[in-house]
A = this chain, B = another copy of it.
Amino acid sequence: MKFKYFVDSGWQHDPQPLDDRGQQFGDGLFETIRLDGQGNAPLWQMHIERLAQGLKALRFSDGAVAMISEAITAIEHPEAVTGCKLLVTRGVGPRGYGFSPDLMPLISVRYFNAPDFSDAPYIAGLSDVSLSTQPLLAGHKHLNRLEQVLARDGFHPQWDEAVMLNSDGLIVEGCMSNVFVKLDGRWLTPEITSSGVNGVVRRWLLDTNPEINIRNIGLPELSSAQGLVFTNSLVGIRSCHRFDAQVVDLAPEAKRWQLAYQEMFENA
């Protein structure tokens, strides 16, 4: 086994990316964004808004939030790519948790090709990692993602996603997505005020389908679900065909949502 190995005798003497507070503390946020392959990101504005909310939660100044948002708004995406990961950190600071408002934030943009939209059977299981409760960080797509790293590592080989519960046994989200459940003919999605990420597709679905309600959902309720849907910016909206041993109904509304989402990325 080989290592990457950096030894430097001076802190902040010629600061390096490794000294970034993203690397040191996970002190930042990210967005994963689907593009249409022609330089457009249809939900770009919602990503920028969520990022701004996250920056405020991490106590970036109003001025910094405005200027970072402006800089990101001005980004021109290349054509022929369908995915973008945007990462913003507080930048390189002196040693220790404390930060001053005059640090220079880091904005990093990486493009890649997202997977093609798919209708293949979508299989989910139950994660063995419970999400912790932290109202100060809930909803935000911050860089403290060890729970997701451990959850992803626990996937069975056939799983596409895993349902994650909080320590009270309530459903929060998927490892990489938000969750929608159809119960007694009504669509529900869990609150994400104590843990979880306020996904952009979640918000888009709630905006465009006001009949969907937000309420906590216990795991046992899944056994009578008439539909189970996962949402993620890259993958889009996917009906779950099987949750553990349970075959789940494929609700027609979910198919309509899926197509409406995908249409935003189709070019004439």
Contact = CB atoms under 8 A, between A and B. Distances in A.
A6 B160 CA distance: 31
Interface string A109-121: 1111000000000
B112 A7 contact: no
B24 A111 contact: no
A91 B247 CA distance: 38
B3 A105 contact: yes
Interface stretch (A138-146, A182-190, A215-223, A251-259): A138-146
A176 interface: yes
A136 B153 CA distance: 13
A145 to B, nearest CB: 4
A104 interface: yes
Contacts of A81: 9
Nearest to A67: B1
A1 B134 CA distance: 31
A7 B132 contact: no
A114 B59 CA distance: 27
A89 to B, nearest CB: 7
How many of these chains are in the complex?
Answer: 2
A200 B110 CA distance: 38
A128 to B, nearest CB: 9
Interface size class of A (residues with CB under 8 A): 35 or more
B25 A107 contact: no
A11 interface: yes
Nearest to A89: B23
18 contacts: A1-B104, A1-B105, A4-B91, A4-B104, A4-B105, A4-B107, A5-B71, A9-B81, A11-B110, A17-B17, A22-B23, A24-B87, A26-B143, A26-B144, A97-B151, A97-B175, A133-B133, A134-B147
Q: Would you list the 5 A-B pairs with minimal beta carbon distance, nearest first? A: A26-B26, A144-B144, A132-B132, A97-B152, A25-B145
Given A6-B107, A17-B18, A26-B26, 18 more contacts: A1-B63, A1-B67, A1-B105, A4-B107, A6-B106, A7-B75, A7-B109, A10-B111, A10-B112, A11-B111, A23-B89, A24-B145, A25-B144, A25-B145, A58-B150, A97-B148, A144-B144, A144-B145
